[in-house]
Amino acid sequence: MDFTLAPEEKLIQQTVRDFVRRELIPLEGDVLRNEREGRTGLERGQLRELQAKARKLGFWGINTPEEYGGANLGSVAICLATMELGRTFVPFRFGGTADNILYACNEEQKHRYLLPTIEGTRQSCFALTEPEAGSDAGNIKMTAVKDGDSWVLNGEKIFITNGNDADFTMVFAVTDKDKGPHGGITCFLVDREMGWRSERIATMGEWDPAALIFEDVRVPEENILGELGLGFDMAMRWIGAARWYIPALGVGACERMLEMSIEHAKNRVTFGQPLSERQAIQWMIADSAVEIEATKWITLRAAWLDDRGLDGRHQASMAKLYGANMANRVVDRMLQIHGGMGYTRELPIERWYREMRVFRIFDGTDEIQRFIIARNLLKGHVKVGEWQE
């Protein structure tokens, strides 16, 4: 058993940390100003400029197969990079990537959708959730009715990430209600110009999702992604594969907040003593450090299982459940240590406080993760104390 990072993993970690410190953290004030003026995140041109700088450092297509020009770094390396990106709330992502589900494109679809998305000239969104079908994704109601050589789509999707900016969507609709989710749901590639529209959903944090509305949107048969009726199974494989991404972001953010709080506690004097001498503050710092460390290793192990081609879904669910709750506990403590200043927008803590609440909801709620973990144990899919290798 060796917990040492390989030399290339250390290099990735340090390079991304330097990039975050040099290029992203200085933009935090701009992001907060944009929010106050009704805009979110970075301008598209600004994001592309940052992605171009990262590309010069070798960070392009970090999870993209080499045959498509990507680096294909592997899950552990990507997890380490994600932890470093989490050290800022500036919504940056490396270029050269595409949703995993897009790799199901046939050769003709690859040229229209996959390759332009990797290059950054097109933007996609993954549209499964509906107003009455969130965690219960198999209960979607959007319909796709065959009409000649086309399908006519009607329905609404909700809480769709990138839905406001995407020029095409991977949308799931019921094509045969009698077959249920496993055989009756199909995924379609639908360009915005085919007629669907998006409506912005305001939230308490940075996440700025959309509702997608489909009213008699006609989609050609050739735009079916994968196989007719097998869209739901394809979606579930994609959704569960990398639930460690959220706790990885949480680790990075909480490490930075803990560093800030340690420094603040040393310098802030009350009643003649620095806060760092107060046991109440010491315990907040100690508890947070332990929980961050626990999340880090449970998350890295989920990524490690992925790299070895093992089934890491159970571990990923545990990482998601524990890490999302850890992040919410830690940000609350760190705001408390900073007192009134922590509640202001002069510091990034209040921003993380708003953002991290959704960690416990999207990509599988706490309740769904508990259901998955308990089901695996009760049905014997995972044995208590059994070491997976």
Q: pLDDT tens, 210-262?
A: 999 999 999 999 999 999 999 999 888 767 657 899 999 999 999 999 999 99
Name the pTM for this structure: 0.92
First to last CA, the chain: 11
CATH number of 124-237: 2.40.110.10
Regions of the chain short of the pLDDT cut 70: 238, 240-241, 389
**pLDDT given for residue 240 in this prediction:** 64
- What is the CATH architecture of 242-378? Up-down Bundle (1.20)
Instruction: Give the integer Cα–Cα distance in Å for 102 and 336.
Output: 43
Q: Domain-by-domain residue ranges, the chain?
A: 7-97, 124-237, 242-378
CATH of 7-97, one of 3.30.70.141, 3.30.497.10, 1.10.540.10, 1.25.40.10: 1.10.540.10
**Residue 41, by phi and psi: left (phi above 0), alpha (psi -120 to 50) or beta?**
left
- Taking each helix axis from N to C end, the angle separating 75-85 and 7-19, rounded to the nearest 10 degrees, works out to 30
Q: Look at the alpha carbons of 327, 29, 160, 248 in this order and tell me if their dihedral is positive or negative.
A: negative
pLDDT score recorded for residue 387: 79
The token pair that represents 129 in the structure block: 């959730």
pLDDT given at position 64: 93
What was the pLDDT predicted at 385?
87
pLDDT at 389: 66
